[in-house]
Structure 1
């Protein structure tokens, strides 16, 4: 989750910086596809270390661009967070500092979004959507050729996500969830697409589903019943993406976001704060109703209901130490997002970041709506995993959220600065923080 701190500082917008955020978002989305191709051609061994180095390079470039926007409040929050994590690591050896990486993506790309314009945001969306659909159609129509160019299975084995002794029942080079198993047909158009779930340039169908949800959230936030502002085409493409990925999560999430958008609460900060809290509480109650005394929580049935019960059982199984990040979880947390966040960040810091994100003042109506859409997106996705933190889609999400802060009347104060005339600076109120 991400935190944003309003400050009285100022963001200087330079001409080169307007486009830089777009290129970093695109890089975050496509670099895994490029590395997978390199690995498949055996040009270079690609493991988790190499992938992490590329991610860190992208984040470092982003941090360099926003370096003048990091104010004292943000630094204090970073210091407190690092202090807690270092201290908690002493008593909880399983604590993962990857949570710093996850929050860093949110902060960096949120500020990058605030340094650019709506026009650049739309350019980013259309370029990325075109790439996603182009690669996705190649995968769908020429599956064997796609698999020969991108051996996704081996890529994720080398990455450590898939165990080397995992049985490949689909007998393909696609990701583990790239095909619906026997007896578990597609939700959408089984007769047309068969069991295949499209991954496109994200390499895994879950991320394509997340991408569709991000597009849908943006459309709900910025669309208006005015010529040129209805976003009809992008709505349709977002739906097409979760159909291709056969993402049940994305379809349900988009429906919930739509219901929230037409409700009178879509701009209420308290709603943005309560959504994840209520869902996490509900999960815990669900887990208490499915307790198995003396049995460690596990995924008994690998479907939506089975994952929800597993997430709830794990939260219910925990003692107070796990909730506050001071004791290791008895069971892995990678398949349940709430447990991952709470056991690594602790309940107190998690609620703090959530509160700052939810209650910071939105500068535009679009920003207020987008904030609530993000809350719904996180509240639902964290029930079944932590994929919302991957840079492949998180960079786009927080970049677009940052852009909504400078839309409409706020955009009028954003004018690029010529590098040759440093004295002629255009400024806008600075947000030195970002979100949960």
Structure 2
């Protein structure tokens, strides 16, 4: 990427918008939709093809984002060495664990290398238009949509759903494509929840929350309110109770960020993790309901079901932990790996107070999302989120804030974050 031009702290308006990062982000957003179309109408696909697409996307992001700075290479070497050590000690070869944690590294570095938040602005707007357009297409012409995009058939082909788990009630949609109880947002829309380009409604709602958070933190961006509206539309179309709640909590976090010490956000997920562990051990509750309280109970149960070896990422067993990002993360890279990655995120240096505010909003989103899902590692939404984070951290900004960001990161983290 070319260095920032123009006056100090400013952006040269004549500087051309880099096309390849935009294409990469749109590709990460839509490649599953394209594979679903191929599987439905052309030829059957398999999990190897899906993994191959992800490898190409992540490798391209790394190639564009690494640059000539030695620190990111050192960071990658440490992570890959740690992952190899875990695999040797299990013993279990699990490339998915490496892939999950390479996604945030690759797209964060790509965003930081662009050194221009206008690229993230453009990506947010374009991706928002694509998501809402396909969501409306699905709502208005569902029969036509599933004719070309047989979602459940695609998930069976890639091995994510067993043929015996297909429900006649949801038809060609994903299992969560229909709300079994009453719709929460705009009930008159009925039980259908839009999957859009993500092929399942959970990611659609998460994506809407990401757009809202970015627009909230970018008052000077072009099409700010339209981008925020696109995010809210995605949340409504997918009937995402989680996405709606994240928007509310992230707004509170946005205003609290300037007065919140950095160590609070460093400790936040581990306080939650400890609380869920205690809850899981002492709770006698056995009834589970499909609401936030029920999901909290379920994640507590999953965390306390982990063996001591699994807590440190040393268990060869791979149980189903997709309903808890906390349990999944521990089982994949262990407690030490989780502490290391979260510390790098929190202490990666920002160049402006606004970047710290955005980071706090992202931390809020991640801490809440890992209560109910492991989809924080899904490239469909994670690519854009981490690109935004890198772009925000790398932008010096021109705004003046009444309060400086709390507890600036120590200088050693600047080298670690590149």
TM-score, normalised via structure 1 length: 0.83
Aligned-residue offset at 1:305: 2.8
Partner residue in 1 for 2:269: 276
The structure-2 alpha-carbon separation of the partners of 1:290 and 1:111, relative to structure 1 and needing over 3 Å to count, comes to same
Residue 242 of structure 1 is aligned with which of 231, 235, 240?
A: 235
The structure-2 alpha-carbon separation of the partners of 1:271 and 1:80, relative to structure 1 and needing over 3 Å to count, comes to same
Partner residue in 1 for 2:207: 211
| SS of residue matched to 1:405 | helix
| SS of residue matched to 2:176 | coil
Partner residue in 2 for 1:48: 47
Per-residue CA deviation, residues 281-330 of structure 1 (Å, 9 max, x unaligned), is 222122123358xxxxx995444333321211222233422211122458
Contact 2:348–2:417 (Cα < 8 Å) also in 1: no
Residue 75 of structure 1 is aligned with which of 69, 73, 76?
A: 73
Whether 1:65 and 2:64 are equivalent positions in the alignment is: yes
Whether 1:317 and 2:317 are equivalent positions in the alignment is: no
Aligned-residue offset at 1:364: 1.4
Contact 2:351–2:397 (Cα < 8 Å) also in 1: no
Aligned-residue offset at 1:194: 0.5
Partner residue in 2 for 1:222: 218
Q: Map 1:294-309 to 2 at 5 A.
A: 300-309=288-297
Q: How many corresponding residue pairs?
A: 395
Per-residue CA deviation, residues 128-153 of structure 1 (Å, 9 max, x unaligned), is 11111111111011111111110001
Per-residue CA deviation, residues 140-182 of structure 1 (Å, 9 max, x unaligned), is 111111111100010011111111111414242111100012x
Structure 1 stretches lacking a partner, 5+ long:
1-9, 293-297, 412-429
Whole-Å separation in 2 of the counterparts to 1:169 and 1:94: 37
Whole-Å separation in 2 of the counterparts to 1:393 and 1:299: 32
Q: Which has the higher helix share?
A: 2
Contact 1:147–1:172 (Cα < 8 Å) also in 2: no
Partner residue in 1 for 2:245: 252
Whether 1:100 and 2:88 are equivalent positions in the alignment is: no
The CA RMSD over aligned residues, in Å, is 2.8
Whole-Å separation in 1 of the counterparts to 2:208 and 2:120: 16
Contact 2:303–2:327 (Cα < 8 Å) also in 1: yes
| SS of residue matched to 1:195 | coil
Contact 1:337–1:383 (Cα < 8 Å) also in 2: yes
| SS of residue matched to 2:162 | coil
Partner residue in 2 for 1:90: 88
Partner residue in 2 for 1:23: 23
Farther off after superposition, 15-24 or 196-205? 15-24
The structure-2 alpha-carbon separation of the partners of 1:20 and 1:432, relative to structure 1 and needing over 3 Å to count, comes to farther
Partner residue in 2 for 1:177: 176
Partner residue in 2 for 1:423: none
Contact 1:21–1:109 (Cα < 8 Å) also in 2: no
TM-score, normalised via structure 2 length: 0.86
The structure-2 alpha-carbon separation of the partners of 1:299 and 1:407, relative to structure 1 and needing over 3 Å to count, comes to farther
Partner residue in 2 for 1:6: none
